[in-house]
Structure 1
Amino acid sequence: MHDLVDWLSTLPPLAVAAVVMLIIGGESMGIPLPGEIAMVSAALLSVSAGFSPWYIAVGAAVGAIVGDSIGYAIGRRGGRPLLIRLGRRFPRHLGPPHLARAESVFATWGVWAVFFGRFVALLRILAGPLAGALHVPYGKFLVANAAGGLLWAFGTVFLIVWIGEAAERYLQDFAWAALLSGLIITLATTAWIRHRTEREPA
């Protein structure tokens, strides 16, 4: 995380937003990439470097929505066999147990899995391709995808910024306090959503 912040700090704000957009876009297409870590790092950087967090929020939202849509198209074309091949390529992230769990969540929640999936690491990677492979109607997918992407991107970025700015008033090295608080909130939110999905019968 610290190395990523150091590297991003060498880039202008628009380039930082573009990097975040590409990483999140790739993750949303089905590639196991650290999208949330990149977004949190960039949000912290916007506080310390003094540029507008809107760059990061917009870049993250665009990456999430466009990446999921591309993932949907790939899944629609390649179907479940494509997801199985991805699982063989990335067994630690997208192996058969992960795919089975994601399919169970889709079977229980339907299109809402796309919305809530934005807040859960596994579903954030698989939601787009899996929705396409399961032939979820694109109109419904797009609404859930856009709503989840916007809430996740803007909510997370501005929450991190608010925590960072509040900590800056009291702590000299505020970045670590903001990072810790942001990660705790993110993990708590993910755990709550995962608990809610696991309570529903598959």
Structure 2
Amino acid sequence: MHIEQWIEGAPPGAVYALVGLIIGLESLGIPLPGELALLAAGVVASKGTVNPALVALCAVAGAVIGDSIGYSIGRKGGKPLFDKLGRKFPRHFGPDHLATAEQAFHKWGMWAVFFGRFIALLRIFAGPLAGALRMPYWKFLIANVLGGVIWAGGTTFAVYYVGKTVEKYMQGFSYVALALAVVAGAISGLVIKRRAARTLAAPEASGGVEQQAQPRVTAGE
């Protein structure tokens, strides 16, 4: 699936819709390359084809709405929902991935939703798992909105400004400029991801996955 080609070749109105839809579906719990969609849209915006503010707005809306829908689904389906998904889609929802995500929630609570925006694994788990663990919705919503704004909006504008700067100095090398913009955006995202991953890492040597608290108690803390 070449998401970046779809976005770069789509008319302006479709770019906004595609970004919002892809980010929304990923946030809901469907494993799609949302980060790649943001990078591609930021590059397109740097070329003047679309408005970066509208791209960021659609991305943030998709992130917040998708996560909220995922929260509702997880709250209704509970932990058995993840057991079913793990059997059908072990690559994305296998027990190891679920254990890692649940451990992050056990340690950080609502802020696992915030930091999860910057980590692909947690991004698809955040909404449904928060609902399954009965995290109070107001806590979830705060972290959801903050994470969506910083991740989706920040990534879009970072790639946009890098693309504009590169294009200014390399007007005769448009493809090189686009490539450099994507690489710069990817490096920025990688730095944020690593910091978020270090923050979410559970340092307890004796804790492990086996000592996680009961879901109802954990999420509400």
The TM tier, using the shorter chain, reads over 0.9
Distance 1:89 1:44 in 2: 35
* CA shift digits 1:27-72 (9 cap, x unpaired): 1111111111111111111112432111210111011000000000
Matched residue, 2:197: 194
Q: How does 1:148-187 map to 2 (within 5 A)?
A: 148-171=147-170, 172=173, 173-187=176-190
- Find the residue that maps to 1:31 and give its secondary structure: coil
Residue deviations 1:7-28 (CA, integer Å, cap 9, x gap):
3234332221111111111111
Instruction: Give the distance between the partners of 1:24 and 1:81, measured in 2 at CA.
Output: 25
Q: Report the Cα distance in structure 2 between the residues aligned to 1:122 and 1:8, rounded to whole angstroms.
A: 23
What is the alpha-carbon distance in structure 1 between the residues aligned to residue 196 and residue 7 of structure 2? Answer: 31
Equivalent runs, 1:47-196 vs 2, <5 Å: 47-171=46-170, 172=173, 173-196=176-199
The gaps in structure 2 that reach 5 residues or longer are: 208-221
Q: TM-score, structure 1 length as denominator? A: 0.94
4+ residue runs of structure 1 moved beyond 6 angstroms? none
SS for the counterpart of 1:169 is helix
Unaligned runs of 5+ in 1: none
Corresponding residue of 2:214: none
TM-score for both structures, normalised by structure 2 = 0.86
- List per-residue Cα deviations over 1:88-107 (Å, max 9, x = no partner): 22211221100000000000
Distance 1:163 1:63 in 2: 24
Amino acid at match of 2:7: L
Post-superposition offset of 1:170 = 1.9
Aligned-partner Cα distance in 1 for 2:37–2:5:
12
Cα RMSD, aligned residues only: 1.5
Alignment length (residue pairs): 201
Distance 1:132 1:23 in 2: 21
Distance 2:93 2:45 in 1: 32
Report the counterpart of residue 16 of structure 2 in structure 1. 17
CA distance in structure 2 between the aligned counterparts of 1:191 and 1:89, rounded to whole angstroms:
29
C-alpha distance in structure 2 between counterparts of 1:152 and 1:134, whole Å: 24
Q: Secondary structure at the match of 1:78?
A: helix
What amino acid is aligned across from residue 160 of structure 1 in structure 2? V
Q: Which entry has the higher C-alpha Rg, 1 or 2?
A: 2
